[in-house]
Structure 1
Amino acid sequence: MLCKLIAESQGDMLKKLIEAQERSQQQLLETLTANFNKGLEEVLSRQNKSGDDEKSEDEAVAEKKPKSDAAEKDDDNIVDEYEILYDAAYEGDWRKASEFLKDCPEAVEKTITYDNETALHIAIMMKRWSFVQKLVERMTPEALEIKDSEDSTALHAAALYGNKDVAKAIASKNPKLTQMRDKFERVPLETAIVHFGDGQKDTVEYLYSVTTHERNGPFSGAYGADLLCSAIESIYYDLALSLVKRFPKLVSEPTEGTNGLCGFEKLIDRPFAFKSGAELSWWQRFIYSLIHVDISSPNDDNDTEEDDDTSSGNSEGTAKDEDIDLV
């Protein structure tokens, strides 16, 4: 009898989780559809004007792949005078680093590889998190803006490897970093969205809460469209829903290029995301229903699309405290 009651209780919980997931996804579809109707003619016109010389989506995706996560040491890439500091960052040996920095304190803000990486870039790549925190404390806000050969700042690296605490330490010291783009035109928030790891959901949550809405910023125009499509592609449906509620025009806003997609087009290309288009076993649906994080909702009163290109009063607008389940 006890086993039966436990099974029934687990069954009810599973049913509620699945229903909550489906409601979130369906609400996103309904919101996108309602806003998309306003821009339908633009989308159809854009599709008719697609040029033959435009890169295919597969080519664009291939071009946007970041450098390998492989952490093999490349001796030929190290600037000779900083080899000791490089080794310390690579190994996470703070004692070795502090000894070197006593004689050469400026090295903490120098690029120590021919790929323009700082010791901070190296330590983040190697996930030497305690070492990283100590380096951030010693660096000036300006030094944190140094970009590597792929135009990635240390905040991009923290976003890629999914460390919320490091991202917070860096962004708190220099908030401008949330607006800086790498060679793929991604701000750190989008970098966090398109990569996967143990700490990714927390990092996405944090970066979304501190990334401000600014003129020509990450929530504007083609940049915003790309961010929305990335959120949908990475199954952050509640983040996508939050974005279209704040900036309704993003639904029909195309990503860059004549073959660019808008958020609505991206979503209808993913019928498997919805109950009517997915044939999942019970255990697949159970796992899928658990893919969510809590995120602060945006300040809808002060942070709307109408302010996107005409007002600077909301340039500092960020998320306010209210929980959202981010799928």
Structure 2
Amino acid sequence: MTCIEAAENRDLCVPLYRAARKGDWKAANKIINKELSIVGASIAQGSYTALHVAAGAGHVRFVEKLVNTMSLDDVRLLDERGNTAFCVAVAAGHVKITKIMMRKDSELPKQLGFERKTPLYHAASFGQQKMAWHLYSIMSSEENLPRLFFTCINSGLYG
């Protein structure tokens, strides 16, 4: 669902976006209590959900509380580029947030994102060394290792 498609929820989307961007769980929780389905709604250009926004902004407590209100399908929602909120957190280097999301859905590290690449590949291509190590310990046997190797070199990840 997008806020544009659901006119009755449009007035909730902008405040939810602002709350997710700031990490203001109290404000977001009021909105979610009014309309639970909004947790899976596209609330910003690019088809971002509140989880995409908060994960990218690095709001650990907000993400933890939001994920607890979501179904697996909500956690797996894609933005218009084909990325889950997990991929957004990976690209931003928020390891704690990815751990929270993986407690809800342990399959997220395997879900392909933009250009059908794994989150591990995205971590390496964005130069997120701690994130790449974290995901490598989980995923290494399932990754295209030669491509990952050269991506790490191109990103300056030599460790």
Shorter-chain TM-score category? 0.7 to 0.9
Q: State the Cα distance separating 1:114 from its structure 2 match.
A: 4.2
60, 72, 92: which one pairs with 1:141? Answer: 72
For residues 88-128 of structure 1, what are the alpha-carbon distances to aligned partners after superposition, in whole Å with 9 as ceiling and x for unaligned? 11222111111111111121122223421110111123232
Give the letter for the 1:233 counterpart.
N
Question: Which residue of structure 1 lines up, in the alignment, with residue 59 of structure 2?
Answer: 128
Which residue is 2:139 aligned to?
211
Q: Deviations over 1:158-217 (max 9, x none)?
A: 111111111111123222221222233321111111224xxx332222111122635xxx
1:233-312 map, 5 Å = 233-237=154-158
Q: 2:149 aligns with which of 223, 228, 239?
A: 228
How far apart are residue 147 of structure 1 and its match? 0.8
CA distance in 2 between counterparts of 1:83 and 1:91 reads 12
Distance change >3 Å, CA 125–CA 78, structure 1 → 2: farther
Contact 1:78–1:86 under 8 Å retained in 2: no
Give the distance between the partners of 2:59 and 2:103, measured in 1 at CA: 20
**Alpha-carbon contact 2:72-2:105 (below 8 Å) kept:** yes
| Corresponding residue of 2:7 | none
Aligned to 2:32: 101
Higher strand share: 1
Q: 1 or 2, which has the higher helix percentage?
A: 2
| Cα separation, partners in 2 of 1:169 and 1:86, compared to 1, 3 Å | same
Structure 1 length-normalised TM: 0.43
Maintained 8 Å contact 2:56/2:92 = yes
The corresponding residue for 1:50 is none
Contact between 1:90 and 1:123, CA under 8 Å: does it hold in 2? Answer: yes
**Quick one: which amino acid aligns to residue 163 of structure 1?**
H
What runs of 5+ residues in structure 2 fail to find an aligned partner? 5-9
- Matched residue pairs, number? 152
Instruction: Tell me the residue number matched to 2:107.
Output: 176
Q: Equivalent residue of 1:142, what SS? A: helix
| RMSD (CA atoms) | 2.2
Which position in structure 1 is the counterpart of 2:46?
115
Please tell me whether residue 202 in structure 1 is matched to residue 130 in structure 2. yes
Identical residues among aligned pairs (%): 27
Instruction: Quote the Cα distance in structure 1 between the aligned partners of 2:3 and 2:34.
Output: 19
1:4-153 matches, within 5 Å, as 79=4, 80-81=10-11, 82-153=13-84
Uncovered stretches (5+) of structure 1, i.e. residues with no partner: 1-76, 238-326
